[in-house]
């Protein structure tokens, strides 16, 4: 899986591409917190509209939640808007949300289109 990290004027945009894998997501977690202009609480758009996550298991999703939980103090109360293309990815993000819920101070919501996601991030 490949990913792009772009700092926008009021949020951080992460775009994933290709077949999802745990190692790439772990790298994404590290790199997003190292981006210039990072600050705890920054809104984050996770655009998964060009990724396929069918090969990820429940255990993989739990590993990703545990890993992101380690960055809780760095992330702060960030809002994560997930943009997903299919029911499968939607369900996987919802599962991830249940695993990460008690491990961080952030909030997350899943969207099917970008405009509502950006509106939610700007609240």
**Mean pLDDT in the chain?**
94
Bridge-based pairing of strands 2-7 and 44-52 is unpaired
3-state helix, strand, coil in the chain (%, to 5): 40, 25, 35
Question: Would you say residue 96 has pLDDT above 90?
Answer: yes
* Statement: residue 98 has pLDDT above 90: yes
Q: How does 9-47 read in b/e, with b if 16+ C-beta sit within 10 Å?
A: eebbbbbbbeebebebbeebbeebeeeeeeeeebbbbbb
- Mean pLDDT for 98-109 is 93
Residue 60 φ/ψ, nearest 5 degrees? -60, -45
**pLDDT tens digit string along 27-74?**
999 999 888 888 899 999 999 999 999 999 999 999 999 999 999 999
Q: Domain spanning 2-121: which superfamily?
A: STAS domain (3.30.750.24)
């Amino acid at each position: 899986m490949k990913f792009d990290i772009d700092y926008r004027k009021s949020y951080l945009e992460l775009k994933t591409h290709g077949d999802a894998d745990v190692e790439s997501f772990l790298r994404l977690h590290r790199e997003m917190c190292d981006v210039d202009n990072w600050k705890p609480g920054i809104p984050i758009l996770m655009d998964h509209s060009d990724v396929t996550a069918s090969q990820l298991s429940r255990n993989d999703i739990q590993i990703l939640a545990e890993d992101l939980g380690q960055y809780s103090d760095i992330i702060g109360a960030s809002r994560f808007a997930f943009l997903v293309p299919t029911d499968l990815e939607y369900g996987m993000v919802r599962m991830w949300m249940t695993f990460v819920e008690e491990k961080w101070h952030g909030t997350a919501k899943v969207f099917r289109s970008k405009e509502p996601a950006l509106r939610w991030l700007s609240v």
